Amino acid sequence: MTTRFDLEGRTALITGGSRGLGREMALAFARAGADVAVSSRKVEACEAVAEEIRALGRRSLAIAAHAGDWAQIDALVDRVHAAWGRIDILVNNAGMSPVEPSSAATGEALFDKVLAVNFKGPFRLAARVAHCMAEGDGGSIINISSLGAISPQPGIIPYAGAKAALNAMTVGMAREFAPKVRVNTISPGMFATDIARHWSDPEALLRGIPMGRFGAPDEIVGTALYLASDASSYTTGANIAVGGGIESPR
């Protein structure tokens, strides 16, 4: 059964791959046999993860790219294809979730940036990669959304809206690029990554989690490996919650 999760001989591209959930997925994919391209805004941070991947005996690329800029996204895809000839797995993980004091206080520049990083850029990246996958041997695309998209709270409404759009994109692209390309969503809840340092009242957040704790970053790995591998060969258009029991996608 473990061979169903084997990624030997496959290539993966992970945005936001230099820290948090992205780093955990990058290292897990490498341990499962994949070569992994790591992208984020800072090439030094990407290179640090790339070195960890190479130490596992896999190839890795470290590529700086802004996840909301279409020209940089196109250059990112072109560079991975130039180096490896294909992308078998894409994880659209890069995102930003600033907290605003109110909807009225949200400025246009911040609103546009949140939508660009969480939806506009991921749309372009998935579209480019899915098109190439469909013309080749197929592949798997995993969009990292948020349970906030289905239960929006004050202060994150633009973010929640962008992630809801990402969820809709998953379903639409799963239908557009089937049967060779599978497109799925993971909706994380609250994980104890570096972003947790900015939470104003962690104890109040914990009270809303049935499992009574925040997720450890490596607890995203099982779902990611499932969706990236042949273990999920008949799964597309799905939205899987990984949130300790808080409200799940409908």
More confident residue, 196 or 121: 121
More confident residue, 132 or 247: 132
- How far, in Å, CA of 103 to CA of 78, rounded? 38
Asked whether residue 173 carries a pLDDT value surpassing 80, the answer given is: yes
Residue whose entry in the numeric block shows the structure tokens 């409200």: 247
Strand order in the sheet with 35-40: 60-64, 35-40, 11-15, 89-92, 139-144, 181-188, 239-242
Asked whether residue 133 carries a pLDDT value surpassing 90, the answer given is: yes
More confident residue, 166 or 102: 166
Is 234 an active-site residue?
A: no
- How far, in Å, CA of 195 to CA of 202, rounded? 12
Integer CA distances (angstroms), 230 to 32, 35, 97, 171, 233, in order: 12, 16, 32, 19, 5
Structure tokens at 171: 């379903």
Asked whether residue 151 carries a pLDDT value surpassing 90, the answer given is: no
pLDDT score of 1: 56
In the chain, the percentage of residues whose pLDDT exceeds 90 is 80
pLDDT score of 143: 98
pLDDT score of 80: 98
From the list 142, 164, 60, the residue with the least C-alpha distance to 94 is 142
Q: Looking at residues 88-117, what average pLDDT do you find?
A: 93
Tell me the average pLDDT of the chain.
Answer: 93
State pLDDT tens for residues 194-215: 776 666 677 777 888 898 889 9
- How far, in Å, CA of 61 to CA of 50, rounded? 6
Domains and CATH numbers, the chain: 2-241 (3.40.50.720)
Q: What is the DSSP letter of 214?
A: P
Catalytic residue among 29, 123, 159, 226: 159
Q: Which helix or strand (DSSP H or E) is residue 165 part of?
A: helix 157-177
